[in-house]
Chain A
């Protein structure tokens, strides 16, 4: 067999291996996505969905304050959750990686991810019981005389953020921990040899080297948080709506599939922009 024929055979084999994945992606992502994009250009007129090609749904999104505010609220909550989660997860991951003895690290990680084993809905309702006026937190603070009136910890943005942070701290802890344990101790030794104290070593050596782990975790947090509907629904008390809740209203109450598709695409664009920013940053870090 000639070299060219061999290359052709190799290429065919490569395509044969890739074909199932391509077909899967095509059928279960690209086709539905294209269909959703097409529907977003249709309109609901009266009780009928009319297949007209128009940008009306997108224009309505920017014109109607209660729709646009959904995106604003989503971004505000997501930003707060991402920042708080990183600030809490990093020390936790660092303690597990650096201070917990090796033989206990696996156990510590299992403890850290234990909340993942519970149903997401059940976990959110559990938080409602913890944060409510008569919940554990308020009862404890009242009993200790720290507060005179129960704090408003649920049915508002605070409740939503607490519920989210509890979940995403665990996720971020895993990604940051994975980054920390890969860090060679030689970096710290070298820094110490050069006269750096513990804080300087952390600030100038450890933190920059673990930023990729933080960024990946933060991106995952951003994507999962901005697309979540359950936590705000249960813990937010419907006192403000995030974009996924607004999308659900279009589907569940109005059967306005075109508007729901348009809003979903807006959400996808936001996530894509976040991905591009994250990917470019990681690329810059590598170069």
Chain B
């Protein structure tokens, strides 16, 4: 597993930013500094820097280091969770502090409306190589201009231990509120996909969800809670499944189990007949970036087949690369873990997260909290 180290770096504007850099990078930085002091005139070895606000999968040195080496650049990565946190960070920063943004695909329109993202030239991005279902032009473009590109996607569905449950049972979502696996289920503690997935389980499309649907969903969530052992975050859910505390994680998917496939081959995931939820993450360049060309180069690297394969199998979590050509750079074991060959069916049988206005969002959170307190 890659070694990640936390370091504090001083931003050009004097703002202190917590960044995540690789151990190798730290060593190289020290060596480079020593060399610069002893051998060279000041500035002769100046290295470009790029500041990126990212999800944890981008902090894997195996992903970033090839780009850094090829371009003699240091990529400062700040990891965040949740678009709200990202917006808060951006609002506290000065224009130009950030160059690259990784963001939940459904939140790209919000970022465009807030004028956070800058336009990217469509002809310099491999948009035609993306799986058609994840191009998501309706969210990544505005007025014909490209502001972001989908880089990775996956599913909120069912992860399980195939030696402990009957895999055939996992083909029906109703198993998550049945008594058969009582006390052996973990529910992923994120209201948005879980409300959506429960809706899918009772035949409601995520795109059509309204507050009128919530009582029926709440009833099912309460039933799920009764048979669940725990409601837990990513780490706790993954740990519970890997250690045998639970045998099923509802809301999980390839992002929860594929990365463990080498060590825990019994862990698997599937999409039941009713369907599942699909998530996607996008990458774009900040409108106020002082290095738009370098930032675009980074985006191009990330969405290139090689970058995509590295991103898909990042040490933080695995998920499907958006670029279909990434398959050429993945091993058979990696493809099997990601269920590469099943993607055409899975893409057809999955729906995007519910897009909720503030009231609907608050109502969904109330329902989720009520379920937690049951």
Which of B200-208, B266-274, B316-324, B361-369 contacts its partner? Answer: B361-369
Interface of chain B residues 174 through 192 with chain A (CB within 8 A): 183, 189, 191
- What string of 1s and 0s marks CB contacts (under 8 Å) between A109-142 and chain B? 0000000000000000000000011100000000
Which one, A70, A155, A253, A255, contacts B230 given CB within 8 A? Answer: A155
Contact B244 A66 (CB under 8 A): no
Say yes or no for A188: interface residue by CB 8 A criterion: no
Q: Sort chain B's interface into a size bin.
A: 20 to 34
Interface centre among A66, A73, A152 (most CB of B within 10 A): A66
Instruction: Indicate with 1 or 0, residue by residue over A63-79, a CB within 8 angstroms of chain B CB atoms.
Output: 01111011001000000
Q: Is the CB of A255 within 8 A of B84?
A: yes
Interface residue? A47 (CB, 8 A): yes
Once A253-B191, A254-B365 are accepted as A-B contacts, the answer to whether A238 and B372 lie under 8 Å apart by CB is yes
Q: How far is the CA of A146 from the CA of B323 in the complex (A)?
A: 55
The chain B residue with its CB closest to the CB of A255 is B84
Closest to A155 in B: B230
Set of chain B residues within 8 Å of A246, measured between Cβ atoms: 369
* A241 with B358: CB separation less than 8 A: no
- Chain A 226-249 near chain B by CB (<8 Å), digits 1 or 0: 000000001001111100001001
Q: Which residues of A contact B366 (CB under 8 A)?
A: 64, 66
Once the chains bind, are B84 and A237 in contact (CB under 8 Å)?
no
Q: Is B229 an interface residue (CB 8 A)?
A: yes
Interchain CB contact under 8 A, A66 and B245: no
Interface residues on A, range: 20 to 34
Which B residues, 218 to 264, have Cβ-Cβ distances below 8 Å to chain A? 225, 229-232, 236, 243-245
Instruction: Say yes or no: B365 contacts A134, CB within 8 Å.
Output: no
Kindly state whether residue A46 has any CB partner on chain B within 8 Å. Answer: yes
> B231 — which chain A residues lie within 8 A by C-beta?
237-239
Interface of A is mostly: loop
Chain B residues within 8 Å of A253, by CB: 191, 365
| B245 contacts across to A, CB distance below 8 A | 132-134, 154-155
Name the distance in Å between B101's Cβ and chain A's nearest Cβ: 19
Bound CA span A249–B366, Å: 10
Q: How far is the CB of A230 from chain B (nearest CB, A)?
A: 13
Alpha-carbon distance between A169 and B359 when the two chains are bound, in angstroms:
45
List residues of chain B with CB within 8 A of the CB of A46: 357-359
* Total cross-chain contacts (CB, 8 A): 56
- Cα A132 to Cα B365 in complex, Å, equals 29
Tell me the B19-59 residues at the A interface (CB within 8 Å): none
CB-CB under 8 A from A132, the residues of chain B are 243, 245
Any A CB within 8 A of the CB of B8: no
Are B244 and A249 within 8 A (Cβ)? no
Q: Are A241 and B243 in contact (CB under 8 A)?
A: no
Q: Are B229 and A66 in contact (CB under 8 A)?
A: no
Within the complex, the shortest CB–CB distance from B72 to chain A, in Å, comes to 39
- Assembly CA distance A241 to B232 (angstroms): 12
Contact between B244 and A134 (Cβ–Cβ < 8 Å)?
yes
| Residues of chain A contacted by B230 (CB below 8 angstroms) | 155, 237-239
Interface hits, A29-75 → B, CB 8 Å: 46-47, 64-67, 69-70, 73
Query: Is the pair B244, A238 in contact by a Cβ cutoff of 8 Å?
Result: no
Chain B residues with CB under 8 Å of A154's CB are 245
B373: CB under 8 A from chain A? yes
Distance (Å) between the CB of A163 and the closest chain B CB? 14
B370 at the binding interface (Cβ < 8 Å): yes
Contact A240 B243 (CB under 8 A): no
Q: A46-B358, A46-B359 are in contact. Are A249 and B229 (CB under 8 A)?
A: no
B320-374: which have CB < 8 Å to A?
A: 357-359, 362, 365-366, 369-370, 372-373
Chain B residue nearest in CB terms to A234? B236
Q: Which residues of B contact A69 (CB under 8 A)?
A: 373
Contact A66–B372 (Cβ < 8 Å): yes
In the complex formed, the residue of A with least CB distance to B370 is A66
For B183, B189, B191, B373, the residue with the greatest tally of chain A CB atoms inside 10 Å of its CB is B373
Query: Complex Cα distance A238/B224, Å?
Result: 14
Cα distance, A65 to B243, chains bound together (Å): 35
Expressed in whole angstroms, the Cα–Cα distance for A67 and B366 within the complex equals: 9
Interchain CB contact under 8 A, B232 and A249: no
Q: Which residue on chain B has the smallest CB distance to residue A252?
A: B82
CA of A236 to CA of B8, assembled, Å: 34
Closest chain A residue to B183, Cβ basis: A152
**Given contacts A133-B245, A234-B236, could you give 18 more A-B pairs where the C-beta distance is less than 8 Å?**
A46-B357, A66-B366, A66-B372, A67-B369, A73-B373, A132-B243, A134-B245, A154-B245, A155-B229, A237-B229, A237-B231, A238-B232, A238-B372, A239-B225, A239-B231, A246-B369, A253-B191, A253-B365
23 contacts between A and B (CB under 8 A): A46-B357, A66-B366, A66-B370, A69-B373, A70-B373, A73-B373, A133-B245, A134-B244, A152-B183, A237-B229, A237-B232, A238-B230, A238-B232, A238-B372, A239-B372, A240-B372, A241-B372, A241-B373, A249-B365, A249-B369, A253-B191, A253-B365, A255-B84
